[in-house]
Structure 1
Amino acid sequence: MVHRIRNQLNLISLASRHIADLVASNEIVRAMEVAEQVQLATAGLQSTLSQMHDLEAGHDLKRVLVVEDDSIQRRMIAEAFRESGYFVAEADNGNGAIEYLYSAAQPDVIITDLSMPSCSGWELSRVARTSPVCRGVLLVSLSGNAVPAATEGFDLTVAKPVDTKVMIAQIDQLLASRDGERDAA
């Protein structure tokens, strides 16, 4: 987590310098876009620090990996989960998600769009289902036109546009059920 904080601080620092350069060259619109990225990075840093505080207090954080090529959708879903007390990691395609899975702590849930460039949600689900790294991970698909046959192998399918409150409630229920089964075993 310290590594994540260091990366977020570096991003904020670099972006702040970039804003100054853009303003100096009269690229105000681009400077505003970068400022928005700084604001998002700052919010992410605050969320990470809050999660560290929760860990120190003994709270058991659930981890979710949000995989979505649409950055607006990804941020909306990620922020909703952060506000619900989840530790959130993000990837913009299946390849990024697979890289994360083999380099970081195992998530409890992977939420993935089905149609993405370079590595789709279907490909990601096949890797996750066959990998010992992902044993017990819940797989959730996001789709604008999901049909049952297309989402086979997923624990839950959520239709787009996503109602984050409903999705979080469904995932909380699935996790509680999974954890209850583990406790009974």
Structure 2
Amino acid sequence: MAEWDRTTILVVEDETVIQLLVVDILSELGFATLEARDADSAVPLLRGAQRIDLLITDIGLPGMNGWELARLAREARPALKVLFLTGYEAAERQELAMDEGQDVIVKPFETGQFEAKVRSMLPVG
């Protein structure tokens, strides 16, 4: 998994169990992770100099939601890919409008499904 070694993923999730699961899966795959519990905590990371290759965010965050966070993230980092986590099943049927470089996965998800989605959003190498 050496091709992923330098890849950094920011995980923004207010549900502790889900955040721990996502970070654990990503760490097992060899990704570096940054964590935030809400958008307010994530914004300084996104505006900073730290390398971030993928933003994984819950849509239903307290305060600023995941859609708003993604918009702000892309103002600071226009090429940033965003994977939304949601319990909203219509998202799986692609009823939610996604911009280029954005995708969604519905909770609860299977580990293999999540891994495949993350890998599909990142360049190899």
Q: TM-score, structure 1 length as denominator?
A: 0.58
Corresponding residue number in structure 2 for 1:5: none
Matched, 1:111 2:56: yes
> What is the correspondence of 1:1-185 to structure 2 with a 5 Å cutoff?
60-131=5-76, 134-145=77-88, 146-147=90-91, 148-153=94-99, 155-176=102-123
State the secondary structure of the residue aligned to 1:157.
strand
* Structure with bigger gyration radius: 1
Q: Secondary structure of the residue that 2:17 maps to in structure 1?
A: helix
Q: CA deviation at 1:112?
A: 0.4
The answer to whether the 8 A contact 1:141-1:151 is kept is no
Displacement after TM superposition at 1:173 (Å): 2.3
**Structure 1 residue 94: deviation in Å?**
1.1
How far has the Cα of 1:172 moved from its partner?
1.2
The structure where helix makes up a greater share of residues is 1
Aligned residues: 120
Shift of 1:87: 0.1
**What is the CA–CA distance in structure 2 between the aligned matches of 1:99 and 1:163, rounded to whole Å?**
31
Shift of 1:152: 2.3
Q: Provide structure 1 residue ranges, at least 5 long, that are not aligned to the other structure.
A: 1-53, 181-185
Q: 1: CA distance between counterparts of 2:36 and 2:106? A: 19
Q: Name the CA shift for 1:61/1:73 in 2 (closer, same or farther; >3 Å).
A: same
C-alpha contact 1:151 1:157 (8 A) present in aligned 2: no
CA shift, 1:111, in A, is 0.4
Could you tell me how far apart the structure 2 residues matched to 1:104 and 1:62 are? 14
The verdict on how the C-alpha distance between 1:61 and 1:165 changes in structure 2, with shifts beyond 3 A counting, is farther
1:26-59 deviation per Cα after TM superposition (whole angstroms, max 9, x unaligned): xxxxxxxxxxxxxxxxxxxxxxxxxxxx8xxxx8
Greater strand share, structure number: 2
1:95-138 per-residue CA deviation (whole Å, 9 max, x = no partner) reads 1111211235131110000011111101101111222xx23221
